[in-house]
Amino acid sequence: MAAGRGARAWRFDTGRVCLDLVATEPAGGVPGGGEQLDGPARLARWLTDAGLVPPGTALAALDATWVVRFHELRSAVGRLMAAQLGGPGAEGALERVNALASGAPPGPRAVRGADGALVRALSTAPDCAGLLAVVARDAVDLLTDPAARAALRRCQGEDCHRLYLDTSRGGRRRWCSGEVCGNRERVARHRRRTLAAADGRGPGTETPPGAE
């Protein structure tokens, strides 16, 4: 699933909602992209697209304060995950995430939709603390699950810094998305080899991009 405005688009292919949140930061893997959660309207759209609230949920209380608090959680989660991959320590980040995880997430309930089918709704109007708790708890679950920690990766694509869980057989996945960063790398490799062949520095045959 993707949503975007021009070059600034988000994807949900990291394997965890806490990593999906980290992917919205300016260095989240969109070449030339800036801040993706740059206001209440964008945060409301992300919360819906990420599945934290059902479509059509009223978020009347969502304001700039929510945006700041989600940015803070995003930073804390990103620092903790980077530390797991050998990056600098994340002093204070774990305490921040634990504190937010202690909140009460909004409870789900099943209601009849317009066509009579059961659809998901929330038992109460969601508040900021409850939605932050959903993401923070997901981060806690990831960090305390040895298998999930071992599957944590950073995309090897050029200009991409996305974190994701590698659930591929053998744990050999290199990119956050084979269709995006993987294909981008194949195209770049094809271009380099084609130029090398034209200059007489390599073979003149090449596998077309996307054929791998």
* Contact (CB, 8 A) for 43 and 105: no
Mean pLDDT of the region 28-37: 70
Which pLDDT score is estimated for 26? Answer: 82
Q: How far apart are CA 212 and CA 209, in angstroms?
A: 7
Which pLDDT score is estimated for 1? Answer: 43
Whether the pLDDT of residue 5 is over 90: the answer is no
Give the alpha-carbon dihedral of 197, 203, 209, 212, to 10 degrees: -160
Confidence of residue 172 (pLDDT cuts 50, 70, 90): confident
CATH topology of domain 2-156: Jann2411-like fold (1.10.3300)
- Residues in Cβ contact with 99 at an 8 Å cutoff, skipping those fewer than 6 apart: none
DSSP string, 59-116: -TT--HHHHHHHHHHHHHHHHHHHHHTT----TTHHHHHHHHHTS-PPPEEEEE-TTS
Mean pLDDT of the region 141-154: 95
DSSP string, 137-183: HHHHHHHT-HHHHHTEEE--STT---EEE--SGGG---SS-IIIIIH
* Contact (CB, 8 A) for 162 and 154: yes
